[in-house]
Amino acid sequence: MNKTMKENTWYCIKCNVAMKQTTLPYYEFQEGVPIPHVPALQCPSCLKILLTEKQAKAVEARTDKLLEQQFGFERKLTTSGKSLVVGVPYELADHLGMKAGKKVKIFPLNGKGFIVKKIEA
């Protein structure tokens, strides 16, 4: 054992042993959003898991990215004349810079639905 605690060494509060670098198969930073292969520290004695601030920030960023990719809005179709209308949530439209009056293009998606893309001016 080292005589002095190294700056980057973390100790298990319960066991007072140095925690070891490990890679968790999955870690849920946010409940229901498992992130694979997450670097973390683990106590070799009690197997307690600890994430350093840096590790926590990294897994938080990965969680945000995953949510962004998987995010979908559920909307009920309404009608306008013969056309079906889908309401675009304000936050999404604003994020994408879509405004009323701007043109979009609709692409069919394998008989499952469609994708709406903005037409870059």
**Region binding Zn ion by CB under 5 A among candidate stretches 2-10, 44-52, 63-71, 99-107:** 44-52
Contact call for residue 46 and Zn ion (CB under 5 A): yes
Q: How far apart are CA 56 and CA 61, in angstroms?
A: 9
> Alpha helix locations (H) across 41-115?
53-70, 90-96
**Region binding Zn ion by CB under 5 A among candidate stretches 14-22, 64-72, 83-91, 113-121:** 14-22
Rounded to 5°, the CA angle 41-43-46 comes to: 145
**Region binding Zn ion by CB under 5 A among candidate stretches 8-16, 32-40, 63-71, 108-116:** 8-16
- Which of 43/51 has CB closer to Zn ion? 43
For residue 77, give the nearest of 68, 88, 69, 66 by alpha carbon: 88
- For residue 45 the two structure tokens come to 């004695």
Contact call for residue 51 and Zn ion (CB under 5 A): no
What residue ranges bind Zn ion (CB under 5 A)? 12, 14-15, 43, 45-46, 48
